[in-house]
Amino acid sequence: MALDGIFLRHIKKEIEETALGARVNQVYQPNRDELVLVLRTYGGSKKLLLSSRANSPRVNFCVNTPENPAQPPMFCMLLRKRLGGGKLVGVRQLGCDRVLFLDFECVNELGDVEGLSVVCEIMGMYSNLIVINRDSNIIIDAIKRVDLTVSSRRFVLPNIPYELPEAQDKLNILKHTPEDIAQAAKSLPAEMPLSKALMQVVQGVSPIVARELEYRVLEGATNRAEGALYDKLISVLGDFKAMTEACNKKPCIVYREDGRPMDFSFFPITQYGGYAKVKTTEGFSATVDEFYEERDARERMRVKSHSLNKLLTNLIDRTSRKINKQRSELAQCADREQLRIYGDLLHANLYRIERGASAVEVENFYDESNSLITIKLNPAISPAANAQKYYKDYQKAKTAETVLAEQIEKGTAELEYLGSVADSLSRAETERELSQIREELTEQGYLRRPKGKAQKQAQLPPKEYRSSDGFTILVGRNNRQNDQLTLKTAAKTDIWLHTKDIHGSHVIIRADGKTVSDTAILEAAQLAAYHSKARESTNVPVDYTLVKNVSKPAGAKPGMVIYVKNKTVFVDPKSIDS
């Protein structure tokens, strides 16, 4: 975990310098694992994000906050009641442990001042945010309650005393000398890498920090405990102790070669050489915020869209199985003419067939050679009834072929529609977009409409971009918006674009009375490919034509259109500045 105890110490100092004495103006809970405290400081409002997410627990000031749900959770309502208007009077950390106490002075319902603390436990999957009464040390509530079904060693429940997490037997760099730490590392098995030894010995260091210390000590050597290397370890630990005490180094973010953030630290990282890009950043909160923002945004949407994803996956699987079964039945109907022939042959040879026979061999007068053919019979019924049965089976197969063809056509259209909704869902970036997709599925009968009067949400506008030569480009976010954009918003002389035979957004280039340039068409085509299922592909075909050539068939599903007089351009997906 990159946000170790020492980095948390730097965050603590930043909070003290920025927000000590600030008032809690508002409390938000964007999801089940995160809180946002809006603090009113002398320098303006600051948003403090407290996260107990297993893969990104942290405390930091943030710029962009996660989108809030329409109805705040109960824990959020409790904090608004107890913390609202409270004053931040202290920030505490025990050594370099990953537990941070935010101390507030609040006024209760009786008008009395009470001391409350928000305890931020930054411990991976065991992370938690706990509100306690500072005077009595009693838990008021926690964002994650821990009872006997979760743990048998430490409970986190309302109205019981708060207990600190079990302490680890490690040395605090602030209290122990470099010689103490070096000796403790030296006492561990010689085959253990120095980085792992330091993680076992030193409190509050993450793997990247331990590896950096090892890199600065060994510089390619293998023996970690003897001679000059032992002295070098003491020297490096001395510098490390000084920077930890001063909290004055520049933080940094380490990026992979493909540009994705890989790790971050509170001091410069040199271990990767030329195999990674290290970017020095300003401010420790800003470093954490930048590192997690994009990844967490995707994770939040993944969690919030889980139920819709599961629904669509089940619908697509069920529709596919249904179509395959109908196609199999349709293939069986291909032999229906043989049933009619059997009926005709039996009817022509009734005088020759004995009642109770299980089969009869007759001449096939439909064959030029009059070859003999064996026809199976039901001995329980008369020969005439057998002939009628073959006629009925023929009519049944004939009717089934027509019905099955219609059902397969409808099923294929439904499968295409569900695929387009799944594609829109994969590109949804906000909860409002999820709400619109959910509303669309409700209108189409795939979801039940919730009881009670639904709150009507304002429709999101389409995404808007501008080509390098000044043309406005609009991109639909989902099927309903695609219909609105193409059939109502766009003018007849605007240009319409869509990936060829690939699920994606409708894209419109506003002509505004001018001739749309080839540059604008190319850039809009790149956007169409980017906002489609082919985003990760190359050389994607994109069709384009005038809006007047696009129409919607009667009864078609949302987002489904037909178009004529189109041209096709092949592009690589690419977004442009909005």
Residue with the two structure tokens 């800003």: 286
Give the C-alpha separation, 290 to 297, whole Å. 11
CB-based contacts of 456: which residues, under 8 Å, 6+ apart? Answer: none
Residue 158 host element (H or E): none
DSSP codes joined into one string, 169-203? --B-TTTS-HHHHHHHHHTS-TTS-HHHHHHHHBT
Give the model confidence (pLDDT) of 458-471 as tens digits. 678 899 999 999 99
Paired with 91 in beta bridges are: 102
CB atoms inside a 10 Å sphere around CB 44: 7
Q: Give the pLDDT band (50/70/90) at residue 228.
A: low
pLDDT top residue among 132 and 394: 132
Give the C-alpha separation, 194 to 221, whole Å. 11
CB-based contacts of 83: which residues, under 8 Å, 6+ apart? Answer: 24, 27, 37, 104, 106, 116, 118, 131
Give the model confidence (pLDDT) of 144-159 as tens digits. 999 988 888 899 999 9
Alpha helices (H) in 333-382, listed in sequence order: 336-348
214 burial (CB, 10 Å; 0-12 / 13-18 / 19+) is buried
pLDDT mean over 351-360 = 85
pLDDT at 495 over 80: yes
Phi then psi for residue 317, to 5 deg, are -65, -45
Helix (H, G, I), strand (E, B) or coil at 463: strand
Query: Are 528 and 499 spatial neighbours (Cβ–Cβ below 8 Å)?
Result: yes
Amino acid letter for position 82? R
**Helix and strand element counts for the chain (H, E):** 13, 22
Displacement of CA 93 from its chain's centroid (Å): 33
Give the C-alpha separation, 573 to 536, whole Å. 7
pLDDT mean over 347-372 = 83
Q: What pLDDT score was predicted for residue 523?
A: 94
pLDDT top residue among 64 and 133: 133
Q: Give the pLDDT band (50/70/90) at residue 222.
A: low
pLDDT at 1 over 60: no
Q: Give the pLDDT band (50/70/90) at residue 319.
A: very high
What six digits make up the tokens of 97?
Answer: 């442990």
At how many degrees (to 10) do helices 383-426 and 431-443 cross?
A: 160
pLDDT-wise least confident of 15-29, 96-110, 253-267, 482-496: 253-267
pLDDT at 223 over 70: no
40 burial (CB, 10 Å; 0-12 / 13-18 / 19+) is middle
Question: Can you list the domains of the chain with their CATH numbers?
Answer: 5-142 (2.30.310.10), 178-301 (no CATH), 311-424 (no CATH), 463-571 (no CATH)
pLDDT at 113 over 70: yes
CB-based contacts of 420: which residues, under 8 Å, 6+ apart? Answer: 479, 503, 559, 560
Give the C-alpha separation, 314 to 428, whole Å. 20
Amino acid letter for position 138? I
- Exposure b/e, 348-377, CB count within 10 A at least 16 = b: ebeeebeeeeeebebebeeeeeeeebebeb
Give the C-alpha separation, 387 to 376, whole Å. 11
Query: Are 119 and 90 spatial neighbours (Cβ–Cβ below 8 Å)?
Result: no
For residue 468, CA distances in Å to 248, 408, 495, 519, 520 come to: 43, 45, 16, 8, 7
Q: Give the pLDDT band (50/70/90) at residue 577.
A: low
* CA angle in degrees (0–180, nearest 5) for 225-231-233: 65
pLDDT-wise least confident of 124-133, 154-163, 296-305, 456-465: 296-305
Compute the 3-state secondary structure of the chain and give helix, strand, coil in percent, each to the nearest 5.
Answer: 40, 20, 40
pLDDT mean over 491-509 = 95
Q: What pLDDT score was predicted for residue 456?
A: 61
pTM metric for this prediction: 0.61
Alpha helices (H) in 175-334, listed in sequence order: 178-186, 194-201, 207-218, 227-246, 284-304, 306-332
Report the length, in residues, of the chain. 578
Give the model confidence (pLDDT) of 245-285 as tens digits. 888 778 999 988 767 788 999 998 988 887 888 989 888 99
DSSP codes joined into one string, 514-563? SPPPHHHHHHHHHHHHHTBTTTT-SSEEEEEEEGGGEE--TTPPTT--EE
Q: What pLDDT score was predicted for residue 452?
A: 60
Q: Give the pLDDT band (50/70/90) at residue 402.
A: confident
